[in-house]
Structure 1
Amino acid sequence: MLQFVIVTGILAVVGSRVASLVVLEFCLRAVSGLVTAGPDSNKFLQQLLVQSQFSLGCALSCSLHFLHEGASQRWLCLLLAAALSWFLARQATRLLHHVTALYELHSSQRYCGICLCLLTHGRGLLPMLCRAMVITFSVAAVAAVSIINRHFLSATEALKFWTPLTICYTLLVVYMQEEQHRLPGSQAVLNTVVVRLGGLMVLMLTVGRWADVLHILMCFLGEASCLIPTMDLLDAASSQIG
């Protein structure tokens, strides 16, 4: 509950502009990683799913901002999204506790519908989650580009922003991929979070606004609150053989 409240509060504070930048950075990192993963693509997908928690929140935030902009009761949509997220989180937690305690017994005795469903269709969970992620971030990427471009009065201003942003993101993605090959899973993830958000902060200091810098500092807290409790999952995913 504490983690949910913290992440929800941070996403409510972070502006749609910085949330859009986080979404675009994640999309670039995901596409580049899949292209270069090769035979380790399954392991990369598992790591990406664990790392995507805060970026997914930013994706939902900027998508809702884009879809409901101008609505008189926008806060009700955000409240409904938060309530739905809380419900899904509670259901996932209950499923985790059930599987941890009783999966071995129920799957062998074959009298629990939940465990039998996981036994027969468990291999389809990862592809299903990947499809959901692709749809979510595809919509969010369109919304992110639209939200960012609204802040520019001319094509020249947009070009001055997008050119250093694209170069910075590309260099960061290359550096992060090298770090993940060199360091253990969880340590590499923490290092890359500091590098990519730090690089984004430096970029916003030159072409952004002071509010953007403050929101990026909030993103540090959001990423930490999502990644620190999942260090064991990151280590497990990185140690698997693709």
Structure 2
Amino acid sequence: MFLSFPWSWGIFEWKFIDSNSIDCFFRGLVGACGISVLCNLIRVYNLIETCRDSETKTESKPSLFSLGNLLRRNCIKALQFWFLTVLLSLVGSRVSSLIVLEFSLRAVSAWASAGLDARSRGLDLLLTQCQFSLGCALTCTLHFLHQGAPHSSLSLFLAAALSWALASACRSLWSHVARLYPLHSKEGYCGKCSTLLASGHTILASVQRAVVLAFAIASVASTSTVYDHFLSQKDALKFWTPLTLCYTLLVVYIQEDQRRQTGTEAMLHTVVLRLGALLVLMLTMGNWSDVLHVLFSFLGEAVCLLPSQDLLKAALQEEEEDMRGPPAARQRNTMKRSSDR
């Protein structure tokens, strides 16, 4: 019988990780590097926009990216990076694939909502909320591409080395910008800051395109993984069709509920609903390792969102300013963001 609860599988079918631990560690390292690149580039973009707004306004608003607030957290960021590496190494390809498909469905729902309502803040917050899902997208894509490869460990090592170099460059850029951009952008003698002053407004659009490409590739890999592990059994569609429909309705409800609420509590409430539904799904259709991987995903989402309060506040503050401003100003801001993208 396909529908069986985890406790009926027996202790001998326990499988903690998909493959050898070295490959899992390299995949987790690539995922953590991707999250680090995403957060550092968004912070660079937000600081550039904050400095630009302070120059055009007579009254400068307090910056959410103050030097003392951001530079004293280097140890916390390093701890977060390695903790995410371990968590992404432990989450298996089955659960990672489901997380990727769920986020892709949520992103499509947010895009449809933004098309109906130009003031929707779903698209602006998705980049911050997609951190752990992006890590899962990278790990499940690497698992799909290297499945059965004769030299997978060497290939994953090279991918991890390139990811580490890219993450180090972005981390160095953010450290330089956080310390020196307000000064160098006015003086004009720093090459990095001069380049960012001229073209820094395009960073967010480039990050968005890269994230969309990563999830597009990961969706193909996730669909193949889900089919091989869940849908290839006899009469599988009989059970998965109603579950998929119910999960789709839940995602749409979460999207509408998030549009009505604000703040970090709403983000955490959304995470609990999403992963809670995935936990129920794995209790019904998965095994013990899948349930444990979903619990790891809870920790991963918390590790990504809790230290990203500055990014969440910046996105919410920008949307609140657009909502409070006059219609002409809202239209100008919308056109500006569209041109940047």
Alpha carbons of structure 1 residues 160 and 47: separation in structure 2 relative to 1, 3 Å: same
5+ residue gaps, structure 1, are none
- Among 107, 118, 126, which residue is 1:30 paired with? 107
Deviation at 1:39, TM superposition (A): 1.3
Report the TM-score when normalising by structure 2. Answer: 0.66
Find the counterpart in structure 1 of residue 145 from structure 2: 67
Partner of 1:20: 97
Q: 1:184 & 1:109 partners in 2: Cα distance? A: 39
Higher relative helix content: 1
Task: Report 1:27-176 matches (<5 A).
Answer: 27-37=104-114, 38-40=117-119, 43-151=121-229, 152-154=231-233, 156-157=235-236, 159-176=237-254
Computing the radius of gyration from Cα coordinates, the structure with the larger value is: 2
Q: Aligned letter for 1:238?
A: L
Distance 1:208 1:3, change over 3 A: same
Q: Matches of 1:200 and 1:13 in 2, distance apart?
A: 17
Aligned to 2:83: 6
| Correspondence 1:186 to 2:279 | no
Deviation at 1:118, TM superposition (A): 1.2
Q: CA RMSD in A?
A: 1.8
- 1:214 aligned partner, one-letter code: L
Shift of 1:218: 0.5
Q: 1:78 to 1:223 in 2, by over 3 A?
A: farther
Over the matched positions of the two proteins, sequence identity in percent amounts to: 56
Contact 1:8/1:82, CA 8 A, preserved across alignment: no
1:183-222 correspondence to structure 2 within 5 Å: 183-222=261-300
Cα distance in 2 between the residues matched to 1:190 and 1:81: 32
Q: How high is the TM-score relative to the length of structure 1?
A: 0.92
Query: Deviation per CA, 1:151-203, whole angstroms, max 9, x where unpaired?
Result: 2444631x135313422331222222233223223221111111100011011
- Unaligned residue ranges in structure 2 (runs of 5+): 1-77, 323-333, 335-341
Q: CA deviation at 1:217?
A: 0.4
- Count matched residues: 240
Change over 3 Å in CA distance of 1:193–1:79 after alignment to 2: farther
8 Å CA contact retained: 1:18, 1:216: yes
Q: Partner residue of 1:225?
A: 303
